[in-house]
Structure 1
Amino acid sequence: MRLPDSQLAVLDAANTTDEPTVDRLADETGLKSASVTGAAFDLRDEGLVSVEETTDTDAELTDEAHEYLDDGLPEIRLYRAAIDAGADDEPVSMGQLIGASGLGGPQVDIALSNFARKGYGVIDSGDVTADPDADPDVDPEQAALESLAAGDSVDDTDLLDQLERRELIVQSERTVRTIQPTDEGTAALEAGIEVAETVDALTPEMLTSGEWEDVEFTEYNVEADAPRVEGGRKHILRQTSDRVKDVLVGMGFKEMDGPHADADFWINDCLFMPQDHPARTHWDRFALDVPGIQDLPDQLVDRVESAHRNGVGDDGEGYHSPWSRDFAEAVALRGHTTSLSMRYLSGFAGADIDPPQRYFSVEKVYRNDTLDPTHLLEFFQIEGWVMAEDLSVRDLMGTFEEFYKQFGITDIQFKPHYNPYTEPSFELFGTHPTTGELVEIGNSGMFRPEVLEPLGIECDVMAWGLALERLLMLMYGFEDIRDVHGTLCDLELLRETEVVY
């Protein structure tokens, strides 16, 4: 019998190796794992080996888990602080224990949510009672993290799933192939196998010299398993953004652009947002420690300040609240792309603002929100406005119905809402295709006179801010936007999702 050198090496190693997996045979033969796999399938087709496949689950620790390896899980740190403070005898205030434990930021919520779940004690009305019989030294989750860090396996699948829900590990499956010689393969080895001098690639040198006429080429097995190669592709969120732009351009809109970091004047003051509004504090906005933008148009600033202080028109009422030019000049990351609308409607961006006009943008915005399945600290907003005479809410609703129809969404619902800068105002909702729940997808309304008059606009302007990620959820059925956006996104989900265009 004659076999190619690689097949003979794999067959011989499989016959003498205790655990003849592909990785082990690659080490024994010096071949690449892909070459071992290809040779094994060729040998299997000849009846010389059997190939058994099993699936193993690997668990990789996240950065957060590595922190807990040194300091302990937050709930364990809280429990130890509670014991030291005597909470096993009488309740101790939560604030005292949090300070003593050294916990801060999101670790506080993590500790509180897992403290009672694990039976470490009870939290009631801000007081903590510790169970003296609890033993954090045998905490199964901490022990599992330490085992995984040491390179040992953890067989408890429920425990692994719990650690994955806590985002302490990332589980992945891999196929393990074991190659065992058959009786026929063993007999062939004993009888002796001659190495076949075969060539697996035709080279220019062979063609030039004519050597190709005398060599024996390796037969290709087109059914053999091969490594999967994933090419790069545009992110589905970016593809959806491009689709949105195409739709709006097709509806007669022109695109806006502008700075991500801008003066609070353009982000909020022009929108008739009072400077003492909660949304303009550090709780909701990302302020930048840089010099303010002082080249604001003075006359426009004066008109906007007057609208804030005194209102607009004979019956207008301002906010009668503090207003500071220094605050207006302060720089922050934009919390909405309406800052672009203000720049364009004021003429400061150099755009043509003679009615009628339609403008849009699909740009990133930044908000100090709490992360959850529908909220991120940064996301994309579909901004748009239409300037014309005698516009109404009916025109605005019709625009949305036409826009969303282009994406197969026809069940848009509207709910009245309050905005400082639009009146009337309403929110938009769509039905999630998987859960059936109503998902908020945007906010809209007609700009108030307090917004338009300082800008010198004498006709109606209807405007909106829609969430691109929420549109993505309605189109593809995603339930957690973190699956497609951010450091924890599901790459397989992104690769397998068919792009609708």
Structure 2
Amino acid sequence: MQLPAQQVAVLEAATADDATSVDALAAATDLPPETVTGAVFELEAEELVAVTERVDETVSLTDEGREYATDELPEVRLYEAALEAGAGDEPVQMGRVIGTSGLEGPQVDIALSNYARKGYGSIDSGEITADPDAEPASDAEANALAELADADDTPVEGVDVDADTLEELERRGLLERAESTVREVTLTDAAVTELMAGLETAETVGQVTPELLTSGEWEDVEFAEYNVEADAETVEGGKVHILRQMSERVKDVLVGMGFQEMDGPHADADFWINDCLFMPQDHPARTHWDRFALEQPTHIDELPEDLVERVERAHREGVGEDSEGYHSPWDEDFARALALRGHTTSLSTRYLSGTEIGEIEPPARFFSVEKAYRNDTLDATHLLEFYQIEGWVMAEDLSVRDLMGTFEEFYAQFGITDIQFKPHYNPYTEPSFELFGTHPTTGELIEIGNSGIFREEMLEPLGVDCDVMAWGLALERLAMLTTGAEDIRDLHGTLADLEFLRNAEVTY
């Protein structure tokens, strides 16, 4: 029987008594594993070998995981620094603790996002506490890192770590799983018979070359069969990010509903971000713990003087007969302070005041899908940076019914028809309400936006004399409802789930 050289080599290296893996056959024949795999499939088709398959799963630490196995997890370092600073007895300023912990860059965010989750203490309003009874030595993730520190591609079955901990380490990007298909080969009776009778090697050619064509030898050689079932390397191509897909879809929907798009600066004066929204200057959200102030430059130079006067008067005295204002301090220097915008409503105040594109006559509809920045505590639904769907409608005689109907029409474009509303308080809208949607995987209600009718105290200084209904919706949470993502950190940030991003689709 004549067979190609690689098939003969495989048959002579395999046995009828024990299954031999493809890697073992490759080592025995000095052939590449992919060549052996191709020969095995061809021999199987000729019923000369029997092939069995199994999938082996292995785990190994990433470079970041190895770093933490040596230097401790960021949350453990934060806990130890907090204890040393006395946070076990009373709250301590978080900046002080972070400074002594030695954490830098992304490690700070990682530590903060896992600190409370593990019960090391709490973080609230820029202060940190530490539970003196917490035991870092019992940290399952830290112990798992130590267990896997010296192992590469360890079979999952041989790892003394529970499945939940492995899953959490993988989610954090500290551990990688790998699956490999192991094929094992056994000679059939027919192959044994042929081996005993003697095999001859037939010369075959694997590809057509220019030399074969020009010489004419291609007419006399035997070509190897092309194996379409042979394994090929997985190549991950580029893809538009899920949030970019969602953003473009939102823009298409809103433009289809008659809206125009706004844009404006990410770093802006507190005047546009908060003061024009009738947000008192002593409001807790305007402290340095909740906003990202600019170090250079610190203040804006130009603001419309007449508008500044009207806004200050609204804060001090109110607007109309039934409004008294706040009777609280108002400082123009504070209003000129520059910070990253905590919401994109700063764009709305710029446009409504006529400063950005000139006077806007009702009826008018505007929107933006832009990034905002808040010093929030990181969790499954909060990041320091997020995308906000800002929108407003200016018209006569608007009501809450109009606002709710707008939301129902908008979210229906994404297949979401169970929006729920809850009354809420905002300094700049009355009435106000929050929006909630049901997560398709967990079944939990999650907040997806805030809305209301702008108050007279906000509109009168801006020169608007008709109704304006407005909202700020969360793009990431809309993506969670449409893709089933359970954690905002799976969508973007240092802990993003790349496998999820490769496969997730915006559906509507």
Output the TM-score relative to the length of structure 1.
0.81
Give the structure 2 partner of residue 323 of structure 1. 330
Aligned partner of 2:286: which letter? R
Give the structure 1 partner of residue 38 of structure 2. 38
Question: Does structure 2 retain, via aligned residues, the 8 Å contact 1:365–1:378?
Answer: yes
CA shift at 1:65, angstroms?
A: 3.9
**Paired residue for 2:264, among 258, 264, 278?**
258
**Paired residue for 2:409, among 392, 402, 409?**
402
With over 3 angstroms needed to count, the CA separation of the structure-2 counterparts of 1:251 and 1:109, relative to structure 1, is closer
Quote the Cα distance in structure 2 between the aligned partners of 1:260 and 1:78. 31
1:163-204 CA deviation, whole Å, 9 max, x = no partner? 542547424141241443525657766776554443333456
**Percent of counterpart pairs with the same letter?**
65
**Paired residue for 1:161, among 159, 164, 169?**
164
Give the structure 2 partner of residue 388 of structure 1. 395
Give the structure 1 partner of residue 286 of structure 2. 280
Structure 2 residue 479 is the aligned partner of structure 1 residue 472: yes
Structure 2 residue 450 is the aligned partner of structure 1 residue 447: no
Quote the Cα distance in structure 2 between the aligned partners of 1:391 and 1:354. 15
Give the structure 2 partner of residue 170 of structure 1. 175
1:448-497 CA deviation, whole Å, 9 max, x = no partner? 11211121111111110111121122223322222233333333333333
With over 3 angstroms needed to count, the CA separation of the structure-2 counterparts of 1:350 and 1:141, relative to structure 1, is closer
**Paired residue for 2:422, among 415, 437, 443?**
415
Question: Does structure 2 retain, via aligned residues, the 8 Å contact 1:263–1:330?
Answer: yes
Question: Does structure 2 retain, via aligned residues, the 8 Å contact 1:55–1:173?
Answer: no
Give the structure 2 partner of residue 304 of structure 1. 311
> What does residue range 76-225 of structure 1 map to in structure 2 within 5 Å?
93=89, 128=132, 144-151=144-151, 153=154, 155-156=158-159, 158-159=161-162, 161-165=164-168, 167=172, 169-182=174-187, 193-203=199-209, 206-207=212-213, 210-225=216-231
CA shift at 1:410, angstroms?
A: 1.3
Once the two structures are overlaid, the 10-residue window that deviates more, 460-469 or 177-186, is 177-186
Quote the Cα distance in structure 2 between the aligned partners of 1:274 and 1:263. 15
With over 3 angstroms needed to count, the CA separation of the structure-2 counterparts of 1:63 and 1:366, relative to structure 1, is farther
Question: Does structure 2 retain, via aligned residues, the 8 Å contact 1:366–1:379?
Answer: yes
Quote the Cα distance in structure 1 between the aligned partners of 2:467 and 2:111. 49
> What does residue range 31-70 of structure 1 map to in structure 2 within 5 Å?
33-62=33-62, 65-70=65-70
CA shift at 1:305, angstroms?
A: 2.1
Structure 2 residue 502 is the aligned partner of structure 1 residue 500: no
Question: Does structure 2 retain, via aligned residues, the 8 Å contact 1:79–1:130?
Answer: no
Q: Secondary structure at the match of 1:252?
A: coil
Aligned partner of 2:177: which letter? S
Question: Does structure 1 retain, via aligned residues, the 8 Å contact 2:489–2:496?
Answer: yes
Question: Does structure 1 retain, via aligned residues, the 8 Å contact 2:387–2:476?
Answer: yes
CA shift at 1:369, angstroms?
A: 1.5
1:56-98 CA deviation, whole Å, 9 max, x = no partner? 33333356644443344689889999999xxxxxxx85889x9
CA shift at 1:217, angstroms?
A: 2.4
Higher RCO (CA-CA < 8 Å; seq separation 6+): 2
Q: Secondary structure at the match of 1:375?
A: coil
1:123-164 CA deviation, whole Å, 9 max, x = no partner? xx9874699xxx95x988655423422126472464353254
Q: Secondary structure at the match of 2:347?
A: helix
With over 3 angstroms needed to count, the CA separation of the structure-2 counterparts of 1:70 and 1:299, relative to structure 1, is same
Once the two structures are overlaid, the 10-residue window that deviates more, 233-242 or 61-70, is 61-70
- Indicate the RMSD between aligned Cα atoms, in angstroms: 4.0
Once the two structures are overlaid, the 10-residue window that deviates more, 55-64 or 385-394, is 55-64
Quote the Cα distance in structure 2 between the aligned partners of 1:81 and 1:347. 50
Give the structure 2 partner of residue 340 of structure 1. 347
Aligned partner of 1:283: which letter? W
Which structure 1 segments of 5+ residues have no match?
85-91, 117-124
Quote the Cα distance in structure 1 between the aligned partners of 2:363 and 2:78. 62
Quote the Cα distance in structure 2 between the aligned partners of 1:13 and 1:455. 86
Quote the Cα distance in structure 2 between the aligned partners of 1:317 and 1:83. 47
With over 3 angstroms needed to count, the CA separation of the structure-2 counterparts of 1:109 and 1:424, relative to structure 1, is closer
Give the structure 2 partner of residue 122 of structure 1. none
Quote the Cα distance in structure 1 between the aligned partners of 2:161 and 2:468. 56
Question: Does structure 2 retain, via aligned residues, the 8 Å contact 1:42–1:224?
Answer: no
1:346-394 CA deviation, whole Å, 9 max, x = no partner? 2222256111111111122222122222222222111111111111111
Quote the Cα distance in structure 2 between the aligned partners of 1:43 and 1:461. 76
Aligned partner of 1:361: which letter? S
With over 3 angstroms needed to count, the CA separation of the structure-2 counterparts of 1:391 and 1:193, relative to structure 1, is same
Q: Secondary structure at the match of 1:303?
A: helix
Quote the Cα distance in structure 2 between the aligned partners of 1:74 and 1:253. 45
Question: Does structure 2 retain, via aligned residues, the 8 Å contact 1:415–1:428?
Answer: yes
